[in-house]
Amino acid sequence: MRTPPKWFAKELKLINPKFSARWLPKVQHWAIMEGSRVSHHVQNDDKSYRPLDQRILRKLKIDTFFTINPKAMTEYLKDNPEYLAIYMDRGITGLKDYLAGY
């Protein structure tokens, strides 16, 4: 059975303590698990193998940011430029700091 790199597992826990990486032998790729359920499949757009790397962690950080900040996601999805600009004036620095790991 494959195990994720220690550095990846450590950073994954910093994003969400319930996250873990598990190899799925039937489909030959990694999955990010939240408890016992699959949270994210780690694969390319064509469903081919993708290694565990910083791209995956960055996506998880962004997804987690929008999960804990639903107003940001609502404004992003509505694409309301006025409200999005107001949010970004206040929040983009926080998002940048979050993604940078500060």
> Per residue in 41-62, pLDDT tens?
999 889 899 999 998 998 888 7
Q: What is the pLDDT of residue 102?
A: 44
Please answer whether residues 19 and 30 qualify as being in contact, where contact means their C-beta atoms are separated by less than 8 angstroms: no
The pair of three-digit structure tokens given for residue 17, joined into one six-digit string: 């303590």
Domain-wise residue ranges, the chain: 1-50
pLDDT at 41: 93
Interval 8-53: pLDDT, tens: 999 999 888 899 999 999 999 999 999 999 999 999 889 899 999 9
pLDDT for residue 67 is more than 90:
no
What pTM was estimated for this model as a whole?
0.67
Residue of 18, 21, 17 lying closest to 9 (CA atoms): 21
Percent of the chain with pLDDT over 90: 46
